[in-house]
Structure formats: structure tokens, C-alpha cells
Structure 1
């Protein structure tokens, strides 16, 4: 079922022809580095006379090294696997980390060398998140609150499902 959905998403993207890349890195539960692949494209329905900008999550890609060259290699391999031409890419959006957004040797610059039409746009959501994090660090009550939330998350995420079932036999739907 997943491969059918993935194929249908790719068919929609290819039908639109031009697309934008959005990649973000994060460790998985096993603390292995991975990047999420999202593609933005314009979906035009000529029968209904509608135009809609869509974002489709295509999956996670595991990476071995966390450097710009490795990221670009993984991105290019995935585009080739998905049969998406880099020449049809019209935008790229990443977080503000130097490795991703760097204008000399970051991912955006390396992709731009392959396709000058792939315009780089900073991810406003990442910028807004950084503002929120900085603001929360200024208030001792916020620091305490988020510290407790983080501790609770760490505690419960470290428990095995069997442990949770043993502790909470009723109402657990896991």
C-alpha cells in the first residue's frame, strides 16, 4: 500500500513537472541521522478549474555522514530513484544551519551548481522555532516547565511497550 501511495504522489509531481525540494534532518528513535523528503508542487485541475499548492511527504532517508556533500549525494540518489529530474526543480528550502543554507559550500549552493533555477528560500518555520526557543529561555518558569515536559517525554519514551502495558493495563491502546 505504501509503494502505491508513493507512486501516486510521484505521478502527481511529475504531472506538474516543476517542483520544490524541502529536506530536514533529525535523528530517529535509534539516534541514527535521517532526513525527511518533502516535495512542493502546483496541482492544476483543468476540469474543476482549480489550482492548489501541495506538499507531499515522500519518506525518510538515512544518512551516514552529516556533511553537505553527503546530503547532496543522498538527495541526488533519491531524485534519480524517484525519476525526478533536478532540472525541473525550481526551489529548495532548508533550515538555517550553515551546512544546509551555507552560500559557499552548503547543500543549497551545491544543488544550485547543478540547477541555477533551484532558488533557495530559508524555512520560516525553523526561524520562528528558534525565536520561540530563545524567548522560552529568558523566563525561568518557561525553562522549568519545558524541562519537566522534556524529562517526562524522555522517561516515557524510554519505557518498552510491555512496561507501559504492565503499568497501565486498562485504557492502553498501543
Structure 2
């Protein structure tokens, strides 16, 4: 009986650790890839912004995602029904649609595509909705949606895992450098 209880306890305690592997965590590069502003029923694309930033994603004890950017933590909550629980209108823009997200995922049903989000105060934007959707094992698509005045502003961001190990060793002096022709 003691062995059985130990196995059950181990299984219960390991469930959160197993859940953590369902989406990529760690350091990511983030870049604004598209966006638009809508006023009075008319849309205009946002100017390209190819500057990259860096952020970290981790899980907290509640199982929610915590996005850390510029020393600020933002807790993101799982959205019920995943991708199916979100609606947005990206017509006449280069912003991804729900069908695009589904095509880029390994799932065939929108309810199976996990999504996280929160309403937060964003510097220079005021109150915004932040949404994260996984794109494979090493990336996310993210949307930052705000409503300043009589406008709607949608910024699409792409989060990609930082490539290469951060503690990469220096080359050894005894190993000759390759000759490139």
C-alpha cells in the first residue's frame, strides 16, 4: 500500500512538470512583424519596426505563463477553448488570421491550439490585450491590441527562441581556424 501511495504521489507531483513541456519556455527574441491602425472604419498598416528585443517565458506555480520583459513580469492566463476562444478581424492587413495560426500549428482543431492572454497596462499604449499562441516547438505568435481614443491598434509580434547556447566557449588557441576561399 505504501508503494502504491508513493507512486500516486510521484505521479501527482510530476504532472505539473510534464505540463511545462507542452510549450516552449526560456529566452526569446521578439520582433514586431505586422500591424495596423483602424480609425473610422479605415485601416492603415503600421510602419515596419525591425528592432528586436528579448524576453523570457516561464511557468509559475499556478501553471500560468509569466512573460518577463525589461524586468517586468506579466502573468498570462490560459484562454478557455484556445484559438477557438479568440476572435479578431485581420482583413485588409498582413496580420495573421486564425486560419493561418491553425495551419502553422500541428493541430487540426482550433480548440487544441493553446492560447494565453491578459489585459495589461503597456508603456505608451495604455491598457492593451496581450495574446500568445505557440507556433511549433520554438516560437510564438503574439498580438498586442489597444484601443486609444476612437482607434484600434493591432501589433503582431513573433517570438523566436534565442539561438545558440548563451555560455558558448571561446575557441581554443591550439585549434587552427578553417581557411575559407
Q: Hey, which of these two has a bigger chunk of strand by percent?
A: 2
The one of the two structures with greater contact order (alpha-carbon pairs below 8 A, sep at least 6) is: 2
Q: Hey, which of these two has a bigger chunk of helix by percent?
A: 1
Given the two structures, how large is their TM-score scaled by the length of structure 1?
0.27
Given the two structures, how large is their TM-score scaled by the length of structure 2?
0.26
